[in-house]
Structure 1
Amino acid sequence: MTGRPPAPRCVANARMYSPAPGAAAAWKELFAWLARESRIDLDVIDHAFPLALSDLWARKDLGAAFMCGFPFMLAGARPRPVAAPVPCGALYGGKPVYATRLIVGAKTRFQSLEDTFGGRLGYTVPDSHSGYNALRHHLLPYFRQHGAKLYRQSVGPLTTPRRVIEALLAGDIDVGPLDSYALDLMLRHDPALASQIRVVATTDLAPIPFLVAAADCPDEIITRLRATLLSFAAAPACAPLGDQLCLDAFAPVDVAVYDLILRWDADARAAGYARPC
């Protein structure tokens, strides 16, 4: 019997956007749909905290996993872009973008970001855009105005959005950064959270984390995965998943727009503000 050899099995992971069990389950359903429609075998793996995301992104069998634009742009050997999510909601304007929400506890006295100055600032990891780079970019004008550090303590690495929430509610930090799309998913699957936190500021928009495959993933696999993901918005069977994942569509990845992230990093470093504090 002749024909093309079967495509190799690949792994898939949505850890970055699985901040609640319901979201994690929905991503597994999406990856199952993606495997069926693309005819690419995808094994969904957990790779949960405290395992390092860098190890996930370095896997030779990676087919679809979310990667932040900051480590992608800094990487010497970059994975291959597959597609970027387009979250639903007015903030995103139908584009593959996101922001950082700066949150405080709902029962605290803080009504504005400035009210938190002098307190304890949480962050995720230094190579995170939403949890570090965008946070620092938003605070940079205040740093320039004050000419000194804004907080008495920077607390981290907290690593994940869920751990930022936990630190905030435990009183370990006064304010912390959350990827806006991750927060949307948290609120969708844990609506009680809305009464426990308050957003005091939102950063400028930036290009969103996107799905990547291994650097040497065959072209055919990339093409089939990308084409299938780009059909998500028009697939009637995916409407319930769109609701569960606060997701309108997937879009092609324009790597050039991620230069914005490097510019924000360079601006902060040039101002002597390498660490958000």
Structure 2
Amino acid sequence: MPYVANARMYSVNPAAAAAWKELFGWLARESRVELRVIDHAFPLPLADLWSRDDLACAFMCGFPYALAARKPQPVAAPVPVGAPIAGRPVYATRLLVKADSRFCSLEDTFGGRLGYTVEDSHSGYNALRHHLLPYYRKRGERLYRESIGPMFTPRRVIDALLADDIDIGPLDSYALDLMLRHEPDLGQKIRAVATTDIAPIPLLVASADCPDEVVSPLQAALAKFADCSDTADLRDRLCLERFVPVEADDYSLTARWDDEARKAGYSQPG
């Protein structure tokens, strides 16, 4: 039977989406697992993708993974070329403003309009809130006059910034790397005023009941990705160094950050 593959979380533009489809084609050939690439594009809920019984390889944010009562099976974690710690499957959130704005620091944006993606996103909500929590504690009040969201996707955060609908917004550092790789002009329109602490990057998962004869060949093939001559172009277009085994316990960090913010009465960033 065919199994489903999807890279919606990092299909940030048409060029990246095409490269992910090529990667899944390579993965199917290398692993001999029949993979059917589906789009599952916004506004379809990501939770519906992650709960599919036929899921074999799709990106899942570490925050909902940590909170899931019945976790999907980890397949592999990507290591971006631009990872905040070289060679590690980690990422951070860049807090972005328009390049021509008056803001020079994070504190300059306080009192303005903050965008966020969705409540079950680590990079676009949980990490953002964790970074703002010390400022909230110090001030004893909310930092922004408006928290605008959910915006759901990194692209919609960028669009809102460029349209002056928000003053500052969060972006997954790997998603931003992919955007800038294929849209170099974007780098002239935005800039980062802060970066959050690092966290384990979104992982590739399979359904909880996906058989081992599917998951194991996928893992073995992805372990070869960094060393195959025929994936060199894909590594360049996807800003990827390699895939590594998942350290599942690392993702509990995201749940701890959530718990800390809620105990401080700071449930929504802003």
TM-score (norm 2): 0.99
User: 2:83 & 2:45 partners in 1: Cα distance?
Assistant: 33
User: 1:27 & 1:72 partners in 2: Cα distance?
Assistant: 22
SS of match in other structure, 2:58 = strand
Counterpart of 1:168? Answer: 161
Q: How far does the alpha carbon of each residue in 1:77-100 deviate from its partner, in whole angstroms, 9 at most, with x for none?
A: 211110000000262311000000
User: 1:82 & 1:199 partners in 2: Cα distance?
Assistant: 32
Q: Which residue identity is paired with 2:121?
A: S
Counterpart of 1:226? Answer: 219
Does 247-256 or 68-77 show the bigger shift? 68-77
C-alpha displacement of 1:75: 1.2
Q: CA RMSD in A?
A: 0.7
SS of match in other structure, 2:152 = coil
Q: How does 1:35-74 map to 2 (within 5 A)?
A: 35-74=28-67
Counterpart of 1:194? Answer: 187
Aligned length: 270
Match of 1:91 among 76, 84, 88: 84
SS of match in other structure, 2:197 = coil
User: 2:132 & 2:82 partners in 1: Cα distance?
Assistant: 25
Q: Which residue identity is paired with 1:22?
A: A
Q: How far does the alpha carbon of each residue in 1:100-159 deviate from its partner, in whole angstroms, 9 at most, with x for none?
A: 000001111011110000000000000100000000000011001111000000000000
SS of match in other structure, 1:65 = strand
Counterpart of 2:145? Answer: 152
Counterpart of 2:202? Answer: 209
User: 2:82 & 2:207 partners in 1: Cα distance?
Assistant: 31
Would you say the 8 A contact 1:63–1:212 is kept in 2? yes
Q: Which residue identity is paired with 2:10?
A: Y
Q: How far does the alpha carbon of each residue in 1:13-69 deviate from its partner, in whole angstroms, 9 at most, with x for none?
A: 000001111100000010000000000010111010011100111111101000001
Q: Which residue identity is paired with 1:144?
A: R
Match of 2:258 among 241, 244, 265: 265
Unpaired runs of at least 5, structure 1: 1-7
**Is residue 2:177 matched to residue 1:184?**
yes
Q: Which residue identity is paired with 1:157?
A: P
Counterpart of 2:100? Answer: 107
Would you say the 8 A contact 1:138–1:203 is kept in 2? yes
Which consecutive segments of 4 or more residues in structure 1 shift more than 4 A? none
User: 2:80 & 2:230 partners in 1: Cα distance?
Assistant: 18
SS of match in other structure, 1:223 = helix
Would you say the 8 A contact 1:86–1:92 is kept in 2? no
Percent identical residues = 68
Would you say the 8 A contact 1:87–1:246 is kept in 2? yes
C-alpha displacement of 1:220: 1.1
User: 2:241 & 2:253 partners in 1: Cα distance?
Assistant: 24
User: 1:19 & 1:237 partners in 2: Cα distance?
Assistant: 23
Would you say the 8 A contact 2:59–2:204 is kept in 1? yes
